[in-house]
């Protein structure tokens, strides 16, 4: 019988089982190197952190040993789309190629599944829904008759921003659990039962951390029987975890509660309590809390270091919180009087109590090891968060587990030093084994890097306009095929507006984040404009990663400026102050590594296969002129560096001649 390592070599090596069974599979030394490191970890237990650059084929590197190893596996990735890809494409392909008797399950958070009970409630009390929501509700009702999984990802062209979705999905607070009349056919519970029985369960980081905090999705039962836990796209773990390990009080959640309170009261206990009055007082208190924060139209984070958020008077703030606390108490008392009539009321009481506790928390001073802020948009979110997940991971997960469980963490970007300390420090993984695997792509031949020398500094008010002008010129010359990444929403708006104005009805189709869903934008960009025009996609934040467009549809990536974290952000400030308190240099140890990882992610959109060619333009002369630029350069793939405008334009024109698809 083959050892695990021999079996993995036989699968991934030249002429191996995957080369024979998987279309276009190529044996790659880096892929095998990573797979063998995973083998050792599976045999020895403990944590392994692997940075595997673009093109390594890291998914097979961890899946092949994990599947052949035969232990139960919990596999977490960053988004629901990546979950679907792993579960719907990669896993079945491998299981078939390796001929293994392995069962798999996909487990998402509650909000991804249709809640049959709430859909029926919405159908009964549909008044107040707009015509669009009514049409969607009818579509969902038809789909509900046929779906086996209840996963809303099955619904074609579903607008994830639809106001109907909270009405037809459940939360931990409003789910009736085993007392629900639809419990037997419940999709959420069915998915959890399947996960508990499967050999490989695919989850996402949000679910992992949500369960860490509230222990409700069944992972607390699942994890003890799992020997291998794998985190792909692990660079997102710290930010995701920090969100979930914090506490928040959101005015949107308060208003959702009012709606559920009124619906349940009027349907199940009409006339027994003056529900309109109870709900009105609660709603008034929730709206008052938002109003007292002022009419800020620009969304952003408001610092909150003392008792009161920055710029607010203490008295109205405290009064608004006190009023909300009283509204919670009054609601709990009203619900108590009818709690025996239906399980819905018990859930509502639990929700009102949780709100009351959070109001109490936010009325007092924040904890020393945490940071507070208010997130402002149409709604307000009061947040208290840890600075990172390190302590939590050490305490809850790694300490007791190291001896018998294997933890694999992988991503294309986890830092820029040999120890990958950007990642390991934030996640409490200082003792983990670390491996870095380079890309198999021939970057000097396939890609070029250009920094336009004449641009003003990024803080100059004319910078965004210049970026828009130049990017428009280059994209026009290339016939589209351009992804322009901005570091702020303000730059996104300005650059997007200028480009759309310039090319209105012209040679380019300018796609801007926010004007269509992310999936629609990327699909349209990948296909090319239907009327034959080239595509220029302008995106911020989420477009820096996860955009995978191999081939000629994407040949130019333009970055507006170096992606340093915003220094005025409360979480960024708190992290920076914590480093200072330890005698460390926040710029060197935090701002630069963050920029390195984000820049690598953005640059990683360009070359996605051995045959791709393209160019990266960074519109920030600091990369060239500042001493720290050397560290950023070193972190980028070794592309050909173009110094003069003439060389740059010649490279660009060379790209237009390589068009083989005519896609864009």
Q: Which is nearer to ligand SF4, 260 or 384 (CB)?
A: 260
In the complex, least distance from residue 343 CB atom to ligand SF4, rounded to whole angstroms: 9
The sign of the CA dihedral 58, 62, 63, 68 is positive
User: Under the criterion CB under 6 A, does residue 343 sit at the interface with ligand SF4?
Assistant: no
Residue 67 CA to residue 230 CA, distance in Å, equals 12
- Six token digits for residue 530: 């239907």
Angle between helices 314-336 and 343-363 (to 10 degrees): 160
Q: Which is nearer to ligand SF4, 184 or 490 (CB)?
A: 184
Q: Which of 440, 455, 428, 475 is nearest to 614 (CA)?
A: 475
Q: Which is nearer to ligand SF4, 48 or 186 (CB)?
A: 186
Q: Which is nearer to ligand SF4, 28 or 189 (CB)?
A: 189
* First-to-final CA distance of the chain: 52
Q: Site map for ligand SF4, 57-96, x if CB under 6 A?
A: ----------------------------------------
Edge-to-edge, what's the strand order for the sheet holding 380-386? 247-250, 380-386, 370-376, 300-303
In the complex, least distance from residue 221 CB atom to ligand SF4, rounded to whole angstroms: 17
User: Under the criterion CB under 6 A, does residue 379 sit at the interface with ligand SF4?
Assistant: no
Burial of 661 (0-12, 13-18, 19+ CB in 10 A): exposed
Using the contact rule CB under 6 A, the part of the chain among 178-186, 361-369, 477-485, 534-542 near ligand SF4 is: 178-186
Kind plus residue range of the DSSP H or E element containing 11: helix 4-12
In the complex, least distance from residue 191 CB atom to ligand SF4, rounded to whole angstroms: 10
In the complex, least distance from residue 355 CB atom to ligand SF4, rounded to whole angstroms: 20
Using the contact rule CB under 6 A, the part of the chain among 45-53, 179-187, 219-227, 286-294 near ligand SF4 is: 179-187
How much is the CA Rg of the chain, to the nearest whole Å? 26
Using the contact rule CB under 6 A, the part of the chain among 184-192, 338-346, 369-377, 410-418 near ligand SF4 is: 184-192
In the complex, least distance from residue 182 CB atom to ligand SF4, rounded to whole angstroms: 4
Strand partners of residue 482: 536, 556
Q: Site map for ligand SF4, 101-140, x if CB under 6 A?
A: --------------xxxx----------------------
Q: Which is nearer to ligand SF4, 116 or 289 (CB)?
A: 116
In the complex, least distance from residue 110 CB atom to ligand SF4, rounded to whole angstroms: 7
Residue 291 CA to residue 311 CA, distance in Å, equals 14
- Six token digits for residue 440: 């198999």
Work out which of 77, 112, 170, 529 binds ligand SF4, going by CB under 6 A: 170
Q: Which of 486, 442, 438, 520 is nearest to 619 (CA)?
A: 486
Q: Which is nearer to ligand SF4, 46 or 177 (CB)?
A: 177
Work out which of 176, 285, 598, 616 binds ligand SF4, going by CB under 6 A: 176
Q: Which is nearer to ligand SF4, 169 or 204 (CB)?
A: 169
Q: Which of 408, 368, 414 is nearest to 387 (CA)?
A: 368
Work out which of 5, 93, 111, 183 binds ligand SF4, going by CB under 6 A: 183
In the complex, least distance from residue 438 CB atom to ligand SF4, rounded to whole angstroms: 46
* Torsion angle of C-alpha atoms 451, 456, 459, 462, degrees rounded to 10: -120
In the complex, least distance from residue 216 CB atom to ligand SF4, rounded to whole angstroms: 11
Buried b / exposed e over 285-320, threshold 16 CB at 10 Å, is bbebbbebbeeeeeeebbbbbeeebeebeeeebeeb
In the complex, least distance from residue 124 CB atom to ligand SF4, rounded to whole angstroms: 14
In the complex, least distance from residue 114 CB atom to ligand SF4, rounded to whole angstroms: 8
- Six token digits for residue 640: 């050909």
User: Under the criterion CB under 6 A, does residue 180 sit at the interface with ligand SF4?
Assistant: yes
Q: Which is nearer to ligand SF4, 177 or 546 (CB)?
A: 177
User: Under the criterion CB under 6 A, does residue 177 sit at the interface with ligand SF4?
Assistant: yes
| 185-224: contacts with ligand SF4 (CB under 6 A) | 186, 188-189
| 224-263: contacts with ligand SF4 (CB under 6 A) | none
Q: Which is nearer to ligand SF4, 118 or 526 (CB)?
A: 118
Work out which of 7, 42, 175, 655 binds ligand SF4, going by CB under 6 A: 175
Q: Which is nearer to ligand SF4, 111 or 466 (CB)?
A: 111
| 475-494: contacts with ligand SF4 (CB under 6 A) | none
User: Under the criterion CB under 6 A, does residue 535 sit at the interface with ligand SF4?
Assistant: no
Q: DSSP letter at 421?
A: H
Using the contact rule CB under 6 A, the part of the chain among 132-140, 175-183, 249-257, 398-406 near ligand SF4 is: 175-183
Kind plus residue range of the DSSP H or E element containing 251: helix 251-268
Q: Which is nearer to ligand SF4, 140 or 175 (CB)?
A: 175
* Torsion angle of C-alpha atoms 34, 36, 40, 42, degrees rounded to 10: 80
* DSSP code per residue over 73-105: EEEEESSHHHHHHIIIIIHHHHHHHHT----EE
Q: CB neighbours (10 Å) of residue 126?
A: 14
Q: Which of 200, 31, 21, 26 is nearest to 97 (CA)?
A: 21
| 575-594: contacts with ligand SF4 (CB under 6 A) | none
User: Under the criterion CB under 6 A, does residue 182 sit at the interface with ligand SF4?
Assistant: yes
Residue 372 CA to residue 386 CA, distance in Å, equals 9
Using the contact rule CB under 6 A, the part of the chain among 182-190, 370-378, 387-395, 551-559 near ligand SF4 is: 182-190
In the complex, least distance from residue 143 CB atom to ligand SF4, rounded to whole angstroms: 15
With CB under 6 A as the rule, give the number of residues binding ligand SF4: 14
Using the contact rule CB under 6 A, the part of the chain among 86-94, 176-184, 243-251, 645-653 near ligand SF4 is: 176-184
Residue 20 CA to residue 93 CA, distance in Å, equals 12
Q: Which is nearer to ligand SF4, 186 or 374 (CB)?
A: 186
Cα→Cα distances 500→454, 492, 553, Å? 24, 12, 19
Q: Which is nearer to ligand SF4, 72 or 117 (CB)?
A: 117
Q: Which is nearer to ligand SF4, 78 or 119 (CB)?
A: 119
Q: Which is nearer to ligand SF4, 181 or 506 (CB)?
A: 181
Query: What is the 3-class SS of 303-358, one letter each residue?
Result: ECCCCCCCCCCHHHHHHHHHHHHHHHHHHHHHHHCCCCCCHHHHHHHHHHHHHHHH
Q: DSSP letter at 250?
A: E
Residue 205 CA to residue 232 CA, distance in Å, equals 9
Using the contact rule CB under 6 A, the part of the chain among 68-76, 154-162, 171-179, 420-428 near ligand SF4 is: 171-179
237 three-class SS: helix
Q: Which of 472, 479, 540, 543 is nearest to 501 (CA)?
A: 472
Q: Which is nearer to ligand SF4, 117 or 405 (CB)?
A: 117
In the complex, least distance from residue 441 CB atom to ligand SF4, rounded to whole angstroms: 46
Binding site for ligand SF4 (CB under 6 A): 115-118, 170, 175-177, 180, 182-183, 186, 188-189
């Amino acid at each position: 019988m083959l050892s695990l390592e021999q079996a993995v070599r036989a699968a991934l090596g030249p002429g191996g089982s995957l080369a024979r069974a998987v279309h276009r599979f190529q044996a790659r030394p880096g892929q095998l190197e990573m797979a063998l490191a995973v083998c050792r970890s599976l045999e020895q237990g403990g944590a392994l952190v692997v940075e595997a650059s673009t093109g390594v084929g890291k998914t097979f590197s961890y899946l092949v040993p994990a599947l052949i190893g035969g232990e139960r596996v919990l596999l977490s990735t960053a988004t629901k789309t990546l979950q679907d890809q792993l579960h719907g494409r990669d896993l079945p392909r491998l299981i078939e190629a390796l001929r293994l008797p392995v069962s798999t399950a996909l487990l998402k958070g509650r909000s991804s599944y249709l809640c049959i009970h709430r859909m029926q409630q919405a159908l009964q009390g549909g008044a107040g829904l707009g015509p669009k929501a009514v049409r969607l509700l009818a579509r969902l009702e038809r789909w509900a008759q046929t779906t086996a999984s209840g996963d809303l990802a099955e619904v074609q062209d579903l607008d994830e921003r639809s106001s109907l979705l909270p009405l037809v999905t459940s939360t931990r607070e409003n789910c009736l659990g085993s007392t629900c009349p639809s419990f037997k056919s419940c999709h959420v519970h069915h998915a959890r039962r399947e996960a508990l029985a499967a050999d490989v369960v695919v989850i996402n980081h949000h679910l992992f951390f949500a369960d860490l905090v509230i222990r409700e999705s069944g992972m607390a039962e699942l994890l003890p029987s799992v020997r291998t836990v794998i985190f792909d796209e692990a660079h997102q773990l710290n930010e995701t975890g920090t969100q979930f390990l914090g506490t928040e009080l959101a005015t949107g959640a308060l208003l959702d509660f009012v709606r559920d309170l009124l619906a349940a009261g009027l349907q199940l206990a009409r006339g027994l309590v003056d529900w309109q009055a109870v709900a009105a007082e609660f709603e008034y208190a929730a709206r008052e809390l938002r109003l007292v924060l002022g009419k800020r139209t620009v969304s952003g984070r408001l610092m909150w270091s003392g008792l009161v958020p920055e710029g607010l008077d203490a008295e109205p703030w405290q009064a608004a919180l006190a009023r909300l606390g009283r509204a919670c108490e009054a609601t709990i008392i009203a619900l108590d009087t009818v709690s025996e009539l239906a399980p819905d009321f018990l859930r509502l009481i639990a929700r009102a109590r949780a709100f009351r506790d959070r109001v109490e928390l936010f009325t007092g001073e924040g904890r020393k090891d945490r940071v507070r802020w208010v997130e402002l948009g149409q709604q307000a979110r009061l947040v208290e968060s840890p600075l990172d997940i390190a302590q939590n991971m050490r305490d809850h997960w790694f300490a007791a587990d190291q001896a018998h469980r294997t933890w694999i963490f992988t991503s294309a970007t986890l830092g820029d030093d040999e120890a990958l300390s950007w990642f390991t420090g934030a996640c409490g993984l200082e003792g983990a084994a670390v491996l870095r695997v380079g890309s198999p792509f021939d970057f000097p031949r396939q890609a070029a890097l250009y920094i336009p020398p004449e641009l003003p500094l990024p803080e100059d008010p004319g910078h965004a306009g210049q970026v828009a002008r130049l990017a428009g010129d280059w994209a026009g010359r290339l016939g589209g095929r351009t992804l322009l990444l901005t570091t702020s929403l303000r730059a996104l708006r300005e650059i997007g507006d200028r480009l759309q104005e310039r090319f209105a009805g012209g040679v380019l189709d300018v796609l801007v984040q926010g004007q269509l869903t992310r999936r629609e934008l990327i699909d349209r960009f990948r296909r090319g404009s239907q009327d034959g025009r080239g595509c220029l996609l302008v995106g911020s934040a989420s477009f820096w990663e996860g955009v995978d467009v191999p081939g000629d549809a994407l040949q130019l990536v333009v970055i507006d400026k170096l992606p340093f974290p915003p220094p005025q952000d409360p979480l960024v400030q708190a992290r920076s102050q914590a480093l200072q308190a330890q005698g460390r240099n926040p710029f060197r140890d935090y701002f630069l590594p963050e920029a390195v990882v984000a820049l690598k992610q953005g640059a990683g959109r360009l070359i996605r296969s051995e045959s791709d060619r393209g160019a990266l333009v960074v519109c920030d002369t600091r990369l060239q002129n500042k001493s720290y630029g050397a560290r950023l350069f070193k972190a980028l793939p070794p592309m050909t560096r173009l110094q003069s405008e003439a060389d740059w334009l010649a490279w660009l024109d060379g790209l237009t001649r390589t068009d083989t698809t005519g896609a864009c």
